[in-house]
C-alpha cells in the first residue's frame, strides 16, 4: 500500500494544474463547489488509482500507520461500511482474503461485494446484531471502526448532536462485541458535546485520544476518537456500582 505523505498531498497527480468546472445552469452553487473540490482533491485521484472506493480509505490508512491498529489475523467490524473504503483497508491489513483474519461490514445501504469482507444490510442497533456479528466473526472482535455520519440538516448544532449520539451508540455496541484489549475508532465533529462519550470511553478503555488525519479535509470539522485497551465487558458488579443508591 502506498504510504501517505506527511504533507497535504500537493505532489500527487499534478495538483498544481487546477481543474476548472463549467457552471451548469441547473446546478446549484454548492453543487459546483463540491464538484470542483472533488476534481481537484488529490485523495480522490489517488483512491481511483489505488482501487479504493472512497477517499476516506486514506484516513484509516494514516491512522493505522501511526497507531498500528490493524494486524494480520484480527477480527474487525466496520460500522456504516458503505461504500466500502474502510473495509477494503481493513481486509488488506488483516489479510482476510488469505484467510488469516475476518472483516464484517454493516450498513443500512447495500454495497458491492469486497474480497475478504462479509457484508450485511443490518442495523447495528438491532437486538440480535451483537450475537449475529460474533457468529460471523467466529468470536469477539479485536476492533470496531466507524466512519458513520447521519444525514445532515445543514444546522451545525443539530448535526453535531446527531453524530455524537451515533458515536455513543457505536461505543455501546463496541462494548458488547470487543475482546479485552480491543480498540474502537469512531468519527465525530469538533464541538462541546462529546464529554459524555469521552467519559464513557475512558471508563471502558485504557487510552482515549482524538485524531485528525491529514486526509480529512482542512475545512472539515470532523475528527476521530480512538480508544485502545478495552477493559472487557462490564459485569454485574460494575452495573451495581452505577446503579442509583
195-204 vs 156-177: helix axis angle to the nearest 10?
A: 10
Q: Cα(33)–Cα(23) distance, rounded to whole angstroms? A: 10
Give the largest CA-CA distance in the chain: 66
End-to-end CA distance of the chain: 54
| Surface-to-core class of residue 56, CB atoms within 10 Å of its CB (0-12 exposed, 13-18 middle, 19+ buried) | buried
Residue 118, helix vs strand vs coil:
strand
152 and 189 in contact (C-beta within 8 Å)? Answer: no
Is 242 annotated as ligand-binding? no
Known active-site residue 212: no
DSSP symbol at 130: H
Is 34 annotated as ligand-binding? no
Is 142 annotated as ligand-binding? no
Catalytic: which of 59, 92, 93, 187?
187
Is 80 annotated as ligand-binding? no
Binding positions: 84, 86, 107, 123, 147
Binding positions for S-adenosyl-L-methionine: 84, 86, 107, 123, 147
* Residues acting as catalytic residues: 187
Amino acid at each position: 500500500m502506498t504510504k501517505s505523505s506527511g504533507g497535504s498531498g500537493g505532489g500527487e497527480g499534478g495538483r498544481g494544474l487546477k481543474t476548472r468546472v463549467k457552471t451548469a445552469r441547473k446546478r446549484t452553487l454548492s453543487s459546483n463547489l463540491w464538484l470542483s473540490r472533488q476534481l481537484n482533491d488529490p485523495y480522490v485521484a489517488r483512491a481511483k488509482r489505488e482501487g479504493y472506493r472512497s477517499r476516506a480509505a486514506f484516513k484509516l490508512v494514516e491512522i493505522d500507520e501511526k497507531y498500528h491498529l490493524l494486524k494480520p489475523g484480527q477480527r474487525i467490524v466496520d460500522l456504516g461500511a458503505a461504500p466500502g473504503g474502510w473495509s477494503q483497508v481493513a481486509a488488506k491489513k488483516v489479510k482476510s482474503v488469505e484467510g488469516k483474519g475476518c472483516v464484517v461490514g454493516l450498513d443500512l445501504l447495500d454495497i458491492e461485494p469486497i474480497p475478504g469482507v462479509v457484508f450485511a444490510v443490518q442495523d447495528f442497533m438491532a437486538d440480535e446484531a451483537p450475537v449475529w456479528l460474533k457468529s460471523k466473526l467466529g468470536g469477539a472482535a479485536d476492533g470496531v471502526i466507524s466512519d458513520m455520519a447521519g444525514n445532515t440538516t445543514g444546522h451545525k448544532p443539530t448535526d453535531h448532536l446527531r453524530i455524537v449520539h451515533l458515536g455513543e451508540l457505536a461505543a455501546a455496541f463496541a462494548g458488547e462485541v470487543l475482546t479485552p484489549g480491543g480498540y474502537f475508532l469512531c468519527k465525530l465533529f469538533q464541538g462541546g458535546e462529546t464529554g459524555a462519550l469521552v467519559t464513557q470511553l475512558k471508563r471502558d478503555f485504557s487510552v482515549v485520544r482524538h485524531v485528525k488525519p491529514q486526509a480529512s479535509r482542512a475545512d472539515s470539522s470532523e475528527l476521530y476518537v480512538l480508544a485502545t485497551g478495552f477493559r472487557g465487558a462490564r459485569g454485574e458488579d460494575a452495573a451495581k456500582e452505577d446503579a442509583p443508591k
